[in-house]
Amino acid sequence: MTQFDRNFLWGSASAAYQIEGAVAADGKGESVWDVWAHLEGKTHEGTNGDIATDHYNRYEEDVALMKKAGLKAYRFSISWTRILPNGTGIVNSEGINFYNRLINLLIENDIQPLVTLYHWDLPQTLQTKYLGWESEQIVHDFTAYAKICFKAFGDRVKYWIVMNEPNIFTHLGYIMGVHPPGKHDEALFLKTYHHTALAHAHTVLAYKEMGLEGQIGSSIAFTPAYSSTSSEADQGALKSYYDIGPWWYLDSYYKGSYPESAIEYYTSQNIEMPFKKADFEIMKAAAEVVDFIGINYYQTAMVAYNPIDGVGISSFNTTGKKGTQKESGIPGLYKTVKNPNIEYTDWDWAIDPDGLRYGLVELKARYDLPILISENGLGAFDTVSSDGAINDDYRIDFLRAHIEACGNAINEGVDLLGYMTWSFTDLLSWLNGFKKRYGFVYVDFESTDLKRIPKKSFYWYREVIKTNGEAL
Ligand code: BG6
């Protein structure tokens, strides 16, 4: 049995656009998501975050529920345009006040605030002015915004997550074209990703220069993988998958370099590399002082060789109709295939708790840094039974197995800081709407009062926290 450290951060996570609502309240500026979600056909069932869970107006009720659940930590993101409505320039004091109220209330309730600086809601002004992440100017502007947050909240916030899943928002925005700005361009994908790595590095260094007491890192969406067979072709596919995928994303943040074999691959495709030599000095300097790796873990992948005339990137299941996800890959290198050994969710995400242990052990071997699980959870259709209860035993089973996997990873030497479930309340899923629910607290999106109802998993997690992981 695993002994979780007594300071282990048991918590839950959220993101501003997915919960806050109040999109134009108190001087908030427009973000790219405020615009994108209102374009015809961009989101599932035309959903948007204009109201979401209305957390901006109901944060007191939400924090009271967190207290009731006994959360030790709560991860949320700051909306850049509440602080700087145009991305740069004049600070909106009402935005600062809101996050001060939230942070203070969390601390009063013994809940450690974990703050994400960027969870995808780029100021629209910067997109219009210089195409946002496509321009290196963003690195400067992002770092300036981060410093404002450090100055305003850094006396009380001890854990900072600079970027949330830079690999996902650049891939969805510049390869798949399903997130803003809706482009399909591999070179731009590499360029924008590189700018996120630079923004992360400059921000980490700025934080350290300010001498504040706390820890800083970024959260990468990490999907560990297995090869479908032990054939040389499939093993080679697995190596390509890692070098072009997880190691590309993580090495740049946590080693200050990119895998050589992936650089060779892109160069062979005549794709221009976006970096300058001097960039690596900054990235390496940050990698030396960064405190932890954040990972968002949902699933593993199974990878097989993909012939040159094989499948390309395909769209994914956003409806919750199980079995509609198609194979996807890079011709000539690899493709992801269905893993016959495990179950899938209704959105065709592989349920693989041991993959979390395996992934954590891989990260420990490659980077040897403390790790924070900044997201893990199950998206499901929940129903309210006639007695008003939400009996989400499937979510309890999912989380229990993943917490056991954390324990196993700790037993194998992984230094795990904490475990944030995704999410505390139900919230808006960017592309899947309101019906894909993740929370411990049900939100009745059908009613105007957005009533909160704790689910069965809420009470279960409370016991887990109370017993420091013993009562699973
Ligand atoms: C992560 C994001 O990708 O996964 C969250 O950081 C997101 O913002 C979560 O909501 C679950 O994804 P989805 O697509 O099911 O909402």
| Whether residue 19 has its Cβ less than 6 Å from ligand 1 | no
Nearest residue to 428 (alpha-carbon basis) of 419, 441, 437, 415: 437
d(CA 1, CA 15): 33
What is the Cα–Cα distance from 37 to 50, expressed in whole angstroms? 9
Indicate if ligand 1 lies below 6 Å from the C-beta of 404. Answer: no
Query: What is the Å distance from ligand 1's center to 168 Cα?
Result: 9
Three-state SS at 109: coil
Instruction: Using the mean position of ligand 1's atoms as its centre, give its distance from the Cα of residue 384 in Å.
Output: 23
Residue 95's pLDDT is 98
Q: Give the separation between CA 427 and CA 48, rounded to whole angstroms.
A: 11
Domain presence at residue 430 = yes
Dig out the tokens for 237 from the structure: 């596919």
> Which structural domain, as residue segments, surrounds residue 195?
9-222+239-297+354-466
Q: Is 422 in the pocket of ligand 1 (CB under 6 A)?
A: yes
Q: Is the minimum distance from the CB of 429 to ligand 1 under 6 angstroms? A: yes
The two tokens of residue 54 are 């209305």
Q: Is residue 323, in this structure, part of any structural domain at all?
A: no
How many other β-carbons are positioned within 10 Å of the β-carbon of residue 151? 13
User: Domain total for the chain?
Assistant: 1
Which residues have a catalytic role annotated? 375
Q: Return the CATH number at 24.
A: 3.20.20.80
Which atom of ligand 1 lies at the shortest distance from residue 379's CA?
15
Instruction: State the distance from the centre of ligand 1 to the C-alpha of 429, rounded, in angstroms.
Output: 6
Is 164 near ligand 1, meaning CB less than 6 Å away? yes
Residues in the chain: 472
User: Alpha-carbon torsion 313, 319, 119, 6, what sign?
Assistant: negative
Question: CA 92: distance to chain centroid?
Answer: 26
Distance from C-alpha of 425 to C-alpha of 410, rounded to nearest angstrom: 28
What the block records as the tokens of 189 is 């994908």
Neighbours of 433 (CB within 10 A): 18
Question: Does residue 325 belong to any structural domain of this protein?
Answer: no
Question: Who's near 271: CB < 8 A, 6+ residues apart?
Answer: 186, 187, 190
Mutate to test the pocket of ligand 1, among 296, 395, 425 (most ligand atoms within 8 A of CB): 296
Query: Assign residue 189 a region: left if phi > 0, alpha if psi is -120 to 50, beta otherwise?
Result: alpha
User: pTM to 2 decimals?
Assistant: 0.97
For residue 150, tell me if it sits in a domain.
yes
In a domain, residue 442? The reply is: yes
Burial zone of 386 (CB within 10 Å; 0-12 exposed, 13-18 middle, 19+ buried): exposed
| Buried b / exposed e along 325-361 (16+ C-beta atoms within 10 A) | beebbbebbbbbbebeeeebbbbbbbbbbbbbbbbbb
**CB of residue 379 inside a 6 A radius of ligand 1:** yes
pLDDT at 91: 98
Q: Mind listing the pLDDT tens digit of every residue in the chain (472 residues)?
A: 668 999 999 999 999 999 999 999 999 999 999 999 999 999 999 999 999 999 999 999 999 999 999 999 999 999 999 999 999 999 999 999 999 999 999 999 999 999 999 999 999 999 999 999 999 999 999 999 999 999 999 999 999 999 999 999 999 999 999 999 999 999 999 999 999 999 999 999 999 999 999 999 999 999 999 999 999 999 999 999 999 999 999 999 999 999 999 999 999 999 999 999 999 999 999 999 999 999 999 999 999 999 999 999 888 898 999 999 989 999 999 999 999 999 999 999 999 999 999 999 999 999 999 999 999 999 999 999 999 999 999 999 999 999 999 999 999 999 999 999 999 999 999 999 999 999 999 999 999 899 999 999 999 999 999 999 999 9
Distance CA 189, CA 172 (A): 9
Residue 336 within any structural domain of the chain: no
Q: Tokens in use for 365?
A: 């071997």
